[in-house]
Structure 1
Amino acid sequence: MASPAVGNLVQIFLAIVTVGGLWVALANGKKDRTTAMSLAVGDRRAADERADSDRREATAAIEDERAFLREQAQLQMQLDHALKIVQTAENFPQGDFNMIKHWGLSIRASVIVLGKDLVPHAWSVFIDHEHRWEDIKEGVLQEINDLAIRTARTLNCPSCYHVHGTI
């Protein structure tokens, strides 16, 4: 390298190699940044989809729990009114008109709460007045007893945390 011309050529060559290396590094860096950005966008989309899926599952679970609790409340109310009717029916007042009126009102209110579909015999006596209490008392009491037992069994379902579809 005694000659300055050869030294200049080597310096030019090294400068070209350095510039070429920088250019390749910048091109690779740009490609890496582009790849990193597309990966970040993909990751963000996947995270958003997971979050949306988790929200949908949580919402569905909450709705299931609400339906279950609503049914449990409905069943508890049915059981309470069925037991109230049985207890009230066993205590039919004799002779006192005001007590008889109160007795009928109490049973009538519970029959209305339970509805015609659950207690059609009681409905026919206390709401539609198609029958007299004395004539079908045993049938009404059996209907109410069956409802109370059925409702209690549903409330005490051993595998319960599901909706029975009784509402």
Structure 2
Amino acid sequence: MSGLPYRAAVGVMLLNAENKVFVGQRLDNALEAWQMPQGGLDPGESAEEGALRELEEETGIARDLVEIVACALRQLDYDLPEDLQGRLWGGKYRGQRQTWYLCRFLGRDEDVRIDTPEPEFRAWKWAEPSELPAMIVPFKQALYRAVLAEFAAHLRLAP
């Protein structure tokens, strides 16, 4: 399966006024795992357009309530565990190659609406950036450490 390509995708680290990060708990996963909004790009869609679309689809947050602060300087990959490679995305991809955006949330908590037409999250909360790797499924922990390193200067964290 390692010969398969990566799926083109995006991710969003959304910060509130207290510099905490939005995380959601997926509906389709029984684990006590939390993740930042992310997803695949549509054909012909730019990474920035895709990031804002995914964020709105997954959180209900309107684009005018989001300010893009930074884009990661490099794309970040993660590989699916072998047992998932054959089941997700029609078995066509080994994982995702993501362009990550750091965004500032300009709204209020009431503007977050995970009860979207096609919901992905069953719960959401604001988390400390340093807690993110421990909150995600194990196969994405290295990815989340890489995202933190990419945005460390903006988060005032040591890489």
Q: Which has the larger radius of gyration?
A: 1
Compare relative contact order (CA 8 Å, sep 6+) and give the higher one, 1 or 2: 2
Q: Which has the higher strand share?
A: 2
Tell me if TM exceeds 0.5: no
- Which TM bucket (shorter chain)? under 0.3
TM-score in terms of structure 2 length: 0.22
